[in-house]
Structure 1
Amino acid sequence: MNKLQILLIIFLISNLAGAQFIKERSINAQIGYGLSAPYNSVDEIFSDGLFAQSELVLKVASWIELRPYAGIVLTNSNGKDINDNPTNESVETKAFLLGGKARLRAPIPWVAPYIEIGLGTSIGKFETITAFDIINSSGFVYHIPFSIGLELGKNNSVDLGFAYYFQPSVKQFTGAFALGITFPLCAKVKT
């Protein structure tokens, strides 16, 4: 059984058990400017594109949240480095993202800084062509999500942050500058 299957089973069991430690539930939808970059390159390169993600926000306490997520990142290389010079190196990602993260946040109204880390999988096509690596892969690769940002507004319902997904097996990372909105779900009935 792989790590993703174990993570999904734990998530489903906690939902079926009523997950009494969850105080609030909401949905966070994010969209932003996505990019991909290799771990190593001679010409400093990256590719850009679209990032979109949705998260189920499970509030455990005012300072910690669990966030299972699903998203997509689509980036294309334009054949140029960051100085707009032609290059033979390229990096591209066309992937569906799936996993879970934990968010530590300062419970401050209006501006609440946060940091996240977790584990997930990227499903799709990955290309990393540099002087050091030639990787053209399709399928499942694991990633390590890491994010920093701010929750804004009276109820911290607007999310502005940087999200990174480190993908060691294809020697690249995918990132985004994203804007998100959080929508509360129905309040849990207390028994």
Structure 2
Amino acid sequence: MKNIQILLIIILSSNLAEAQFIKEKSINAQIGYGISSPYYSVGEIVDGGLFLQGEYVLRISSWFELKPYAGLILTSSNGKDLNDNPTDEKAESNALLIGGKIRVRAPIRWAAPYVEIGIGASIGKFETFTAFTNINKSGFIYHIPFSFGLELGRNNNVDLGFAYYFQHTVDQYVGALAVGISIPLKN
């Protein structure tokens, strides 16, 4: 418990200090096609919806960034699997996503590949119903974000990537194929 309190104090007080190791700051806004899928199912179940996310990007170097984020995932079942067969199995997620990630990227102009990982929380309503799982939960759960993609453009300000949030508590993952744009902030 003491470690959590120390971490919380560091995070809350970091906004008060002007760290000189941050080279530039920006806002990254993303929108995309959201999905949710159960970990275990008989059929191939993927439910679709909407994904929105905003990130406060703190560039430490040309290859490393810290990224607190807030997002929204809204998915619902259409009663069919990927092969268009009717099914009762589903994995729905309607939640706010918050947390922090680190991004490691290749410092290449025009097309810079990247990978991200972090930790966060999902707050909302989750339903996973399969032959192996029957979970209907509302509230606060943790998730592990993982993303990969490309930063495109002369200044790498367009983001095209896949974002996944593994929600172990409800035996499902949510994700998106998303496109984003970075807006630099003045120092």
- Calculate the TM-score normalised by the size of structure 2: 0.96
Distance 1:9 1:28, change over 3 A: farther
Partner of 1:51: 51
1:166 aligns with 2:166: yes
1:12 Cα offset (Å): 2.6
Q: CA RMSD in A?
A: 1.7
The equivalences for 1:34-73 within 5 A come to: 34-73=34-73
Q: Deviations over 1:149-176 (max 9, x none)?
A: 0000000000000000000000000000
The one-letter code matched in structure 2 to 1:135 is I
Partner of 1:97: 97
1:135 aligns with 2:135: yes
Q: Deviations over 1:44-73 (max 9, x none)?
A: 111000000000000011100000000000
Distance 1:20 1:116, change over 3 A: same
1:116 aligns with 2:89: no
For the residues of structure 2 that align with 1:9 and 1:175, how far apart are their CA atoms?
31
8 Å CA contact retained: 1:105, 1:114: yes
For the residues of structure 2 that align with 1:3 and 1:148, how far apart are their CA atoms?
30
8 Å CA contact retained: 1:4, 1:120: no
For the residues of structure 2 that align with 1:162 and 1:176, how far apart are their CA atoms?
6
8 Å CA contact retained: 1:146, 1:165: yes
Moved over 2 A (4+): 1-12
In structure 1, the residue corresponding to 2:149 is in which secondary structure? Answer: strand
1:152 aligns with 2:152: yes
5+ residue gaps, structure 1, are none
Partner of 2:20: 20
- Calculate the TM-score normalised by the size of structure 1: 0.94
For the residues of structure 2 that align with 1:111 and 1:79, how far apart are their CA atoms?
39
The one-letter code matched in structure 1 to 2:116 is E
User: How many pairs does the alignment contain?
Assistant: 187
Identity %: 68
1:11 Cα offset (Å): 2.8
Of 11-20 and 73-82, deviating more is 11-20
In structure 2, the residue corresponding to 1:19 is in which secondary structure? Answer: coil
